[in-house]
Chains A and B, each alone.
Chain A
Amino acid sequence: MIELAELSIAYGRGPSKVSAAEGLSLFVDSYELVAVVGPSGCGKTSVLMVLAGLLRPSQGQARIYGEEVRGIRRDVALILQDAGLLPWKTVWQNAELALRIQGQKDSRERVDEVLHQLGLTGFESRFPGELSEGMKRRVGIARALALQPRVLLMDEPMANLDSLTREHIQNLILTLWREMGFTGLLVTHDMEEAVFLGQRIAVFSPRPARVVEIVDNPGMGTVEYRGTPEFMAKVAHLREVLGGSS
């Protein structure tokens, strides 16, 4: 469960102050997968950083399962835009990294299992430089899922991928969400992706971010949803809302 209550985020002070979000409120229920779309640079990522405990809001509150976010939480995992893999660590070491940092021992089986789930078995000793872009993103997802998080924050995990790989990873995230049952917040600039993966879609305004509209999307949940008239209509609606807000 994620709650953002009248959240404001500001960078810098005085005349150089930049406001990334202002009075932003959003509620994501347990086991819900919500997509966030908005114009480039509107402050979407900043909101994720606050939830990940990496950034302090200037006003308002961010709560996860009722507790105010005051730092890094062990039940929250973050997937970064370019996967954030460390090039000097192998696939296995990258997948294990978050567990290792948190001092969670006996993680071998869990890492092996997650790598298997993501189709990375056999690539454990490869370095990121030897992988395709799609595989790198899967390793980034594996690293987050190895933590068995209650809340999964995703910052454009499919950005800059070719369309086939992008769809493949979208399908994978959908399957994992249904199987593992986490609460998910997905930031994306891709409207089709938002409609494919968001049970609800929050549309943010240009900076400073606030919620312009929440689009209900009850039809999502299957791979076949992509391409249905309902899917197309939602995408068209989002395009219209975003066109009007930017």
Chain B
Amino acid sequence: MRSALSSTVRWVLLYLLALGVVIGGWGGICALLVWVRGRPVLPTPGETFTAAWENLPVLAQAFGTSALRFLIALVVSFLLGLPLGLAIGFERRLDTFLSPLIYILYPMPPVALLLFLYLAFGLGEVVRLVVVVIALFFQVVVAAQGAAKYITPSHVAAVRSAGATRLQLYRHVVLPATLPNVLTAARVSVGLGITMLYIAETKLGVLLGPEAGLGRLIEYYTFRGDISLAGVVGLALLGLLFYALLELLERSLCRWKFVGAQRGR
């Protein structure tokens, strides 16, 4: 218990240190740009945080909207992508027929289809979600498929020899065996997801106010660099929040990965 607490404290301290380095570097770049260009180009951390503080309600609302939107998109992508990916990876026949389909569609950026998505789903909330879901969905499918393909045969035999049904096989073996890889892939995909969220909120929300999401806030305050940059910081924090959430989820759902002799691996 004590070691768990100390590792959490260490983790928080490391992130605070990283934050310090980022802010220091940011300040340095501001100064450098003033020196090179002869005028302020990038709002300093001080200016940005002051603007953030003065506009906290709208910023908080935009952050909340974006966070909720991203959470919904993440959950929907998991609910749709995980079963499909696991089934494609584990069932050889599905793999044969569906893998080519997935690999054709996977590299296609949903941003390139914005016009058609807009025509199909209108300019409401749904289309903003759809863009993020499409991006994350394929990430989850491909990660789950890859992990389910290489499940240790003796784990399957152990459960099958006890008379497990297909559903029990997925519940006791396929899902827990693949979860660590899927969660890692999800963590990696947070960056891509945030980019998609930004694009969806800027391109598909032109008539909305700044509280309709961080992307919209950044665009809305194009001519107020300090507030706009506060929105960018908000996006970074949003990414960090989800990264940490997925890390915590992995630590609680895949506790076995973090114990004993396997810890060092």
Contact = CB atoms under 8 A, between A and B. Distances in A.
Interface in A57-84: 71-72, 74, 77-78, 80-82, 84
Interface stretch (A1-9, A94-102, A163-171): A94-102
Contact of A101 (B172, B256, B260): B172
A78 B254 CA distance: 27
Interface size class of A (residues with CB under 8 A): 20 to 34
B116 to A, nearest CB: 42
Q: Which of A72, A81, A86 has the most CB of B within 10 A?
A: A86
A78 B158 CA distance: 8
Nearest to A87: B256
Q: Lowest 4 CB-CB distances: which A-B pairs, in order?
A: A130-B260, A84-B158, A98-B162, A72-B163
Contact of A126 (B155, B157, B177, B260): B260
Nearest to A80: B154
A78 B161 contact: yes
B159 A101 contact: yes
Interface residues of B, number: 22
A88 B259 contact: no
Contact of A97 (B172, B259, B260): B172
A225 interface: no
A148 B221 CA distance: 72
B160 interface: yes
B154 A82 contact: yes
A102 B259 CA distance: 29
A88 B176 contact: yes
A86 B168 contact: no
Contacts of B172: 86, 89, 97, 101
A54 B160 contact: yes
Nearest to A147: B162
Nearest to A131: B260
Q: Which of B161, B177, B260 has the most CB of A within 10 A?
A: B161
Nearest to B177: A88
Contacts of A78: 157, 161
